[in-house]
């Protein structure tokens, strides 16, 4: 039986692209919300799940982080980096001068602001739930319309790309993580994600904690503090480091952090994406 891989639908989103990039042969299961994607694994409806975690257009990514910290025991077993392309899609022979309305998720409008101002200053902007949904919304429009969406969406919904790569700042990317019951075995080029908080916020607590990594020569790839859901101003820290939790020096460092922290949770060790340049 093919592996079942859950993602944030509908088809044609960047999340589907990430699911395809991760495992083309798997059965891809579209879910309607990020919690539903994550829960599908716990409920046995899927074997793994792909969720956006950094700089996504379609999912609230802090939402994914909070879910991993507070509400899920799934482990991260992989990561992927997907390029984000904003294209102006139309149906049939609609021309630039015909367009009276533009559909997309609120975020791409922000990313294509200068383009729209210069090329479609009079067009109405209409919000959609996803860049893929925008193509459907465009088709239901009562006036000639366009959608800002991916080349992949143009392909599967048979829409025409009137103008490619219309984003104001190029090289936009989204990082996704693969979630499952277990994380990944050691490959020699790995990352480990974990989170923790402190009982007290005495000066130097975080500094001393990072010392557990520094004194073992472990490279920090990313650090983030997320507001504690109980009150603004208290924080949970999230760290990505270079190495696998089975590496002896990483294991010792994680033990050191655990002994200094109040809550402590290893989110998983997994191979670093080839295009996730931390070098």
Among 23, 151, 186, 211, binds a copy of itself (CB under 8 A): 211
Task: Confirm or reject binding of residue 221 to a copy of itself (CB under 8 A).
Answer: yes
Using rule CB under 8 A, residue 189 touches a copy of itself: no
Q: How far is the CB of 268 from a copy of itself (least distance, A)?
A: 18
Report 149-188 residues binding a copy of itself (CB under 8 A). Answer: 169, 171, 173, 175
Site string for a copy of itself, 60-79 (x = CB under 8 A): x-xx----------------
| Cis, bond preceding 245 (omega within 30 deg of 0) | no
Among 223, 255, 259, 262, binds a copy of itself (CB under 8 A): 223
Which amino acids are annotated catalytic? Answer: 174, 176
**Residue 22 near a copy of itself by CB under 8 A:** no
Q: Does 124 bind a copy of itself (CB under 8 A)?
A: no
Restricted to residues 99-118, the positions that interact with a copy of itself (CB under 8 A) are 105-107, 109-110, 113
- Least distance from a copy of itself to the Cβ atom of residue 173, Å: 5
Residues of this chain that bind a copy of itself (CB under 8 A): 33-35, 54-55, 60, 62-63, 81, 105-107, 109-110, 113, 125, 127-129, 169, 171, 173, 175, 201-204, 206-208, 210-211, 213-214, 217-225, 227, 229-235, 237, 275-279
């Amino acid at each position: 039986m093919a592996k079942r891989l859950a993602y944030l639908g509908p088809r044609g989103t960047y999340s589907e692209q990430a699911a395809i990039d991760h495992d083309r042969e798997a059965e891809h299961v579209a879910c309607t919300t990020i919690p539903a994607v994550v829960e599908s694994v716990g409920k046995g409806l899927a074997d793994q799940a792909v969720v956006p975690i950094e700089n996504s257009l379609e999912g609230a990514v802090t939402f994914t982080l909070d879910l991993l910290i507070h509400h899920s025991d799934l482990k991260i077993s992989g990561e992927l980096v997907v390029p984000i392309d904003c294209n102006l899609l139309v149906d049939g022979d609609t021309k630039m001068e015909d367009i009276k309305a533009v559909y997309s998720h609120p975020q791409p409008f922000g990313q294509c602001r200068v383009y729209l101002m210069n090329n479609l200053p009079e067009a109405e902007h209409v919000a959609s739930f996803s860049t893929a949904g925008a193509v459907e919304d465009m088709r239901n429009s009562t006036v000639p319309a366009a959608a800002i969406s991916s080349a992949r969406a143009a392909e599967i919904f048979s829409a025409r790309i009137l103008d490619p790569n219309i984003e104001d700042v190029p090289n936009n990317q989204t990082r996704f993580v693969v979630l499952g019951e277990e994380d990944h075995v050691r490959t020699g080029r790995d990352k480990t994600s974990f989170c923790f908080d402190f009982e007290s916020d005495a000066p130097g607590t975080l500094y001393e904690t990072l010392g557990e990594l520094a004194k073992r020569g472990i490279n920090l790839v990313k650090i983030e503090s997320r507001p504690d859901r109980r009150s603004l101003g208290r924080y949970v820290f999230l760290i990505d480091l270079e190495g696998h939790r089975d590496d002896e020096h990483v294991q010792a460092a994680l033990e050191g952090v655990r002994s200094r922290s109040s809550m402590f949770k290893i989110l998983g060790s997994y191979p670093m994406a080839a295009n996730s340049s931390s070098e």
